[in-house]
Structure 1
Amino acid sequence: MPGPLTIFVLIFLFLSLLSFVASIMGFRKRMFLGGAIGLLVGLLFLTLTGLFVTITVAIQGYRALTQEEIAARVKIEPTGPEKFVAYFSFPNGRKETFSLVGDQFYVDAHILKWKPVVNFFGLHTAYELDRVAGRYTRLEDELSKLHTVFSLSKSKPVDMFSLRERYSLLSPLLDAEYGSATFIPAKKPTEVEVRVSTTGLLVRKADPQ
């Protein structure tokens, strides 16, 4: 079933086509004022169509968030001194494996908080995990040793989080916030849940499966 955004895209596209047809008919009948108004209305609806298409593309990969939920389950297996593998399992069944260095790891997320004015269009708080990285406990190691970082986000032509950061005119519509999980020790085998809420990320010990 199409979501609210898709429905609004189709509605505005249909209205723009109707307006353009009415505009053409007005010009043919030499009703220039009516034709011009129809053209302007058509352009307005076409602009709204483009706006909603852009939003639809820009929020791909983001998951709606209404309460605290599991963003990923992570299994850590050390493979050597300051080396470990992180096995990610996501709620949608996707699995990823990352080889990291350090003695801790952390996860970042992008959180979109839509304002009430656009909730009518089906846009609510949403999140997307952004990256996972290794980290050293000692500052000297953090400054001098090898670092590893990998993307967790879905590749997309345009990202709503980046658009919000770049264009302040979007501030009446939404806020874009970073969420970072607590640094998680990786010196011994462990399994954790990365959870997300409207206030950010948190990590909890995973229950045995």
Structure 2
Amino acid sequence: MSHALAIIVLTVTGGVLVITGLWFFLRPRWLLDWLKGMAVFGLILVGLYSLVMAVNLAGYQPLKGLQTVATISTQREADQIWRVTVQIEGGSSNQRTLRGDQWQMDARIIRFTGPVRWLGILPAYRLESLSGRYTSLEQERTAPRTVIGLSEKTWADLWQLDRKFNLPFLEGVSGNATFMPMRDGATFDVRISASGLVAVPVNDQARAAIQFWDQ
């Protein structure tokens, strides 16, 4: 398109849009009805979004600063097979079997922004999974992996939708504790903040495993 033709096209387009807009203002009743309809439609959308947030938050726990959310204890059953006890803070204790040399816990964190944050709604978290990992790259690629779910899936998962579409008024954060070594009799506390998870050794076996691991 030539420079002169571009000027003509833009002039015609601008003129048509301005005239169309002025024509709408000459019919104020139609314009008022349209604005009312858009306002009602907006209210319905905001209401539905609020309901979806409420349904999702029912499956999460409030996050008040740095807090302990679980305790992980490991007992050796066989070579690279471990009986792991997961004690959820304020909840039940479960024993599961993990394969590998290390464990990791993952969580989903929702932080609120904008007007929702102004309401004083705290961030929320949900423990997602506990998984095992091999130190050998070859085993990590070929050996059986273990991933244990720690929560039930929810319909219209806002955390997942935010990761894909960047939803308004909230932020989905992926929290995970760095892979920790599994050792017979070791116990770790898993703590969470708005930025993620951290694992802290709480007995001599866990501290020795960390010290040996760092060498």
TM tier relative to shorter chain: 0.7 to 0.9
Aligned equivalent of 2:94: 96
In the TM superposition, residue 175 of structure 1 has moved relative to its aligned partner by 1.9
For 2:52 and 2:145, locate their aligned partners in 1 and report how far apart those are by CA, in whole Å.
Answer: 35
Aligned mates of 2:33, 2:113 — CA distance in 1: 36
Say if 2:101 and 2:133, in contact at 8 Å, map to a contact too: yes
1:48 and 2:59 are equivalent in the alignment: no
Gaps of 5+ in 2: 1-29, 205-215
Counterpart of 2:147 in structure 1 is 149
CA distance in 1, matches of 2:54, 2:203: 36
Contact 1:107 1:132 in 2 (8 A): yes
What is the distance in 2 between the residues matched to 1:157 and 1:60?
12
Selected match of 2:126 from 103, 119, 128 = 128
Q: 1:206/1:116 Cα in 2 relative to 1: closer, same or farther (>3 Å)?
A: farther
Q: Within 2, Cα distance between the matches of 1:60 and 1:154? A: 12
Q: Tell me, yes or no, if structure 1 residue 68 matches structure 2 residue 66.
A: yes
Q: TM-score, normalised by structure 2?
A: 0.71
- Max Rg structure: 2
Amino acid at match of 1:147: R
**2:184 is the alignment partner of 1:191:** no
Give the secondary structure class of the aligned counterpart of 1:134. strand
Q: 1:46 Cα shift?
A: 3.4
CA RMSD of superposed structures (Å): 2.6
Q: Equivalent of 1:162, from 160, 163, 170?
A: 160
Q: Match for 1:87 among 71, 85, 88? A: 85
CA distance in 1 between partners of 2:90 and 2:31 (Å): 54
Q: Give 1:13-28 correspondences, 5 Å limit.
A: none
- Whichever residue aligns with residue 198 of structure 2, its letter is L
Match of 2:115 in 1: 117
Shift of 1:35: 9.1
Shift of 1:207: 6.3
Any unmatched runs of 5+ in structure 1? 1-31
Question: Contact conserved, 1:82 with 1:101, CA < 8 A, in 2?
Answer: yes
Structure 1 Cα separation of the partners of residues 202 and 70 of structure 2: 10
Is the contact made by 1:133 and 1:149 (CA closer than 8 Å) also made in structure 2? yes
Shift of residue 66, structure 1, vs aligned partner: 2.6
